[in-house]
Amino acid sequence: MTPHDANGLDIDAALAAMTLEEKASLSLGSDFWHTAAVERVGVPSVMLADGPHGLRKQPEGGDHVGLGGSVPATCFPTAAALGSSWDADLVRRVGEALGRDARVERVSVLLGPGINIKRSPLCGRNFEYLSEDPLLSGVLGAAMVDGVQSQGIGTSLKHYAANNQETDRLRVSADVDERPLREIYLAGFEHVVTRAQPWTVMCAYNRVNGTYASQHRWLLTAVLRDEWGFRGLVVSDWGAVADRVAALAAGLDLEMPPNLGVSDAALVAAVRSGELDEAALDTSVRRVLELVARAQPALADPGEVDVEAHHDLARQAARESAVLLKNEGVALPLSLGAGQTLAVVGEMARTPRYQGAGSSQVVPTRLDAALHQLEALVPDGVTVRFAPGHELGSAEPDDALVAEAVQAVRGADAVVVLLGLPAEEESEGFDRTHMDLPADQTALLAAVAEAATAPVVVVLSNGSAVRVSDWEHHADALLECWLPGQAGGGAIADLLLGLASPSGRLAETLPLRLEDNPSYLSFPGDSGHVRYGEGVFVGYRGYDARDQAVSYPFGHGLSYTTFAYGGLALEVLGSVEAGDLRVVVRCTVANTGERSGAEVVQVYVRDPECSVARPVRELKGFVKARLAPGESALVDVELDQRAFAYWSTTVHGWVVEGGAFEIVVGSSSRDLRLTGTVDITAPTRRAPISTTSTLEEWLADPAARAALASLFADQAGQVGGFLAEGDLVKVIGNFPMDRLAAFPGFGLDRATLDRLAAGLRQH
């Protein structure tokens, strides 16, 4: 896009021709979903709409909080489900479909993906987020952005940053140390921005370390633009702006929805008074104009949507996202023949729970219920018996419904029970207070399991993780489907009947109980602050560091077939010194069973010795390999330098400490199949030596050590003074040098220390 011919909009000319008031008007929307137009200079408005798993375009003149009805659109599986697919190619295709849905409706920016880290299972919006791991969130987030944007439609990467809870979300300060902020909470955003350049980034509602994300200069400009090279526009979350002038100065380009007559007037007044440099306003307005220009080709050619094809894709995506947690006695797939009976229990079999509530709620083009899909797909001559078993939204067991369900499963040849979280328990706007299924549902399961003679298969529909440890003994098989979108019912039928093999993997750990979660003691905070006390030990990083038993580990998921791993080969390319280190991890994976299936080969890196506390192992690469029975494939995963680095709070940068690193290839974070070691050479990066560095730090630095040694050399050239006394050096090693220099008779006075330190600085 050249500035003078930006899809029919001459950005330079428009900017030069606009009055201050017109420019101010462009830095906020004109209504809930549109940017402002400036007709006098030929600037049209464009529309933004939610996001992220389906288009939520409100008809003209929608309600005042933006949460009312919307035009029908394909409701794809929610992010909790898509995250469990571990399939970037699939997510890209879903993104393309979302882009087409937006394009045909003349929506220019889809407000997603949401890639905040699932810090706690209680976060009310976990269904809208991908994972507890930043690499998985980043890779799938980038795929979604690529897919949507390939259709000429923009995305909004959200919510930047550290928006990991709903409690007090418009004010709470997420107090996060520098290292977890970089390694866990920003890493996914960095990945998406640097690899996929979303058209827009949406700032979060909350404060980060005391400052509103909407006016956080370090986040919005220093990191996002100066470090990561973001070239798009920053939009506020809806209502996130507390001070429009401060927000603009920090790098927030577009306020949504607009605080009309207030924010624009404040910007004009601030420029007039000299408080705000007009150049800063121009920069933001230019970004709005660039967005408007980018949107024009799709608006001129909205294309068409094949609603059926999108529904089929939604079904495939739901299938790929379901996680088979357990399958004792090969309860699945169901094998049924003529004359046999399948008992289906649970209200969710006919009233699907398929998406979450709040700004992402889509009006689906169609909705498939598992019950009807099973009825349609079971072999001829199979009878399907249904009993709802409970009432949605009631926690008290209904004896009559339970008795009916017990009757339905008696003598049945297969028993499927659909359970899940009721819609009112998880939504944008509030967090959960526990992670249990409703008591009436677990009581129903216990009763049904006692009466059943066939294996009991439980199918779960929930957007955030539920505790399974206290009831899963009633289930022989457990299929976690998350909130699988409008075609989830068909996907459930496909998987239960073996028309496809499950291939999803957990994108978050299922703990034995909520109290085990690393954030438990500091979620959701109080008095306006939430302290991210677990540091980098989020999710599996925390469970593994404490070697805690869990119900199902990160990365876990079974298949109807089995896989064998072999032939691990590691190749080190480039170097840390040159900044281009890469390690190619190669292995073979073979389908050793009798059905087609897909294995997610996961590569974890472990740094056994490091000067900072690091997680036991961290996911650094993965590949989903689809294999026919007997087929094997060579899998290649390339790790870059970052895969070995931690964020150093002394040098304020990424540091790879040289030495041996373990590369572990696994089928989950706790099912490790192959291990190898690479030796990595890296220059030592230490904070510069100063007068307040400790004796230990001086001795660890070759130049500083030499300076001290020559100062304390006796006539024979031997090290003398206190340096000769090894035990003493050990005891006083953690003293800063300026304190030691103040000790009477120490042999090193302050002036000498200053001279040595100055010499080292010039070094």
Number of Cβ within 10 Å of residue 424's Cβ equals 9
Using a 10 angstrom Cβ sphere, with 0-12 exposed, 13-18 middle and 19 or more buried, the burial of residue 52 is: buried
Q: Which of residues 229-248 bind ligand BGC (CB under 6 A)?
A: 237-238
CB 109 within 8 A of CB 55: no
For ligand BGC, the closer CB: 108 or 501: 108
For ligand BGC, the closer CB: 94 or 760: 94
Nearest-10 Cα torsion for 640, 535, 237, 296: 0
Parallel, antiparallel or unpaired: strands 597-606 and 646-648? unpaired
In whole angstroms, how close is the CB of 267 to ligand BGC at the nearest point?
A: 22
For ligand BGC, the closer CB: 22 or 50: 50
In whole angstroms, how close is the CB of 575 to ligand BGC at the nearest point?
A: 42
In whole angstroms, how close is the CB of 124 to ligand BGC at the nearest point?
A: 11
The vertex-357 CA angle with 354 and 358, nearest 5°, equals 145
Give the nearest residue (CB) to ligand BGC.
359
Size of the site for ligand BGC (CB under 6 A): 8
Angle between helix axes 399-409 and 439-451 (nearest 10 degrees) is 30
In whole angstroms, how close is the CB of 111 to ligand BGC at the nearest point?
A: 4
Q: Which of residues 453-472 bind ligand BGC (CB under 6 A)?
A: none
51 binds ligand BGC (CB under 6 A): yes
Cα–Cα distances (Å) from 602 to 77, 157, 312, 621, 639, in that order, read 23, 25, 28, 6, 12
Three-state SS for 88-128 is HHHHHHHHHHHHHHHHHCCCCEECCCECCCCCCCCCCCHHH
Binding residue (CB under 6 A) for ligand BGC from 14, 25, 43, 50: 50
398 is catalytic: no
How far is residue 131's CA from residue 554's CA, in Å, rounded to a whole number? 10
In whole angstroms, how close is the CB of 158 to ligand BGC at the nearest point?
A: 6
CA 143 to chain CA centroid, Å, is 12
CB 36 within 8 A of CB 44: no
| 753 Cβ neighbours under 8 A, 6+ residues apart | 691, 737, 738, 741
86 binds ligand BGC (CB under 6 A): no
66 binds ligand BGC (CB under 6 A): yes
Query: By C-alpha distance, which of 493, 425, 489, 362 is closest to 76?
Result: 362
How far is residue 592's CA from residue 602's CA, in Å, rounded to a whole number? 18
Beta bridge partners of 588: 566, 634
For ligand BGC, the closer CB: 32 or 622: 32
111 binds ligand BGC (CB under 6 A): yes
528 half-sphere exposure, CB direction, 13 A CA radius: 6
Binding residue (CB under 6 A) for ligand BGC from 92, 118, 158, 606: 158
How far is residue 538's CA from residue 525's CA, in Å, rounded to a whole number? 16
165 binds ligand BGC (CB under 6 A): no
Whole-number CA gyration radius for the chain: 29
What does the DSSP assignment read for 409-442?
HTT-SEEEEEEE--GGGSBTTB--S--PPPHHHH
CB 302 within 8 A of CB 103: yes
For ligand BGC, the closer CB: 206 or 373: 206
Alpha helices in 4-87 (DSSP H): 11-17, 20-26, 79-85
279 preceded by cis ω (within 30°)? no
What does the DSSP assignment read for 553-578?
-TT--B-SS-EEEEEEEEEEES-TTT
Q: 370 in helix, strand or coil?
A: helix
For ligand BGC, the closer CB: 189 or 238: 238
In whole angstroms, how close is the CB of 265 to ligand BGC at the nearest point?
A: 24
In whole angstroms, how close is the CB of 191 to ligand BGC at the nearest point?
A: 20
For ligand BGC, the closer CB: 151 or 206: 206
| 710 Cβ neighbours under 8 A, 6+ residues apart | none
Binding mask of the shown chain, residues 117 to 156, with x at each position contacting ligand BGC by CB under 6 A = ----------------------------------------
Helices and strands per DSSP (H, E), number in the chain: 22, 26
The single-letter code of the amino acid at 120 is S
For ligand BGC, the closer CB: 111 or 452: 111
For ligand BGC, the closer CB: 111 or 583: 111
Parallel, antiparallel or unpaired: strands 109-110 and 154-160? parallel
In whole angstroms, how close is the CB of 207 to ligand BGC at the nearest point?
A: 15
Catalytic residue among 87, 237, 368, 413: 237
Q: Which of residues 561-590 bind ligand BGC (CB under 6 A)?
A: none
108 binds ligand BGC (CB under 6 A): no
166 binds ligand BGC (CB under 6 A): no
For ligand BGC, the closer CB: 257 or 346: 257
Q: Which of residues 332-361 bind ligand BGC (CB under 6 A)?
A: 359
Number of Cβ within 10 Å of residue 72's Cβ equals 17
For ligand BGC, the closer CB: 66 or 535: 66
Contacts with ligand BGC by CB under 6 A lie at 50-51, 66, 111, 158, 237-238, 359
Q: Catalytic residue positions?
A: 237
